[in-house]
Amino acid sequence: MQVIPALDLRGGRVVRLLKGDFAAETAYPDDPVERARHYAAEGARRLHVVDLDAAAGHGSNRGVVERILAEVEIEVQVAGGIRDEVDVAGWLAAGAAAVVMGTTAVRHPELVRLCAARFPEQVLAALDVKDGRPAVTGWTRTEERALPELLAAWEAAPLGAVILTCVDRDGTLTGPDLDVLHRVLVATRHPVVYSGGIAFAGDLTRLAGAGAAGAILGRSLLEGRFTLKEAIAACAS
């Protein structure tokens, strides 16, 4: 199972939200580029970078993301505010290894299928689950759509993966939601990368055993619950 450290950006800073709540933000003093370099030095093969301002539709951290792409030798998957084929092509041309489509993937799955057909394996679909429903627009709203129905709409697309974030667990350090992970795994053929609530290296072992293809780590690494090297070792054992 691949371990993917995350950098969530808001106002040019590294932050973490509690359960996706923009009013419950923890900001960290780390320079985003230096933090990305740190993860690369610790052995990360890929970085998950989320532009929260772009996701919510009120700003952009594009300059910071472009610096990471230009200055850090690591694969980067970019998320937040990627709405159409132009956005996808633009980020890939800028050096991103992959892009994550969230709101558009939920509301317009046909567009995700189109983008994935043009860029096979480089488009990832974000399934952000809040109160059992897909969350959109920076997790500020939920859609009345059943998860199996949504996953079925993505099934024919040549996606790189489905990124499952359990928003109710995100930033809580209360452990992963294995029940939701199982529901998603049985409903899709795509690799599933899990995010939300991971607190200990043992959580990674549980996720690997459950069938996750990868795990995205945010607060647990930023607050030193364990190191990235320890996380990678836990998944290799």
Q: So which residues are the catalytic ones? A: 8, 128
Distance, in Å, from the CA atom of 66 to the CA atom of 74, rounded to the nearest integer, reads 13
Sorted by sequence, the CB contacts under 8 Å of residue 237 that are 6+ apart come out as: 205
Distance, in Å, from the CA atom of 13 to the CA atom of 10, rounded to the nearest integer, reads 5
Q: Is 172 exposed, middle or buried (0-12, 13-18, 19+ CB in 10 A)?
A: middle
Distance, in Å, from the CA atom of 137 to the CA atom of 142, rounded to the nearest integer, reads 9
Distance, in Å, from the CA atom of 153 to the CA atom of 144, rounded to the nearest integer, reads 15
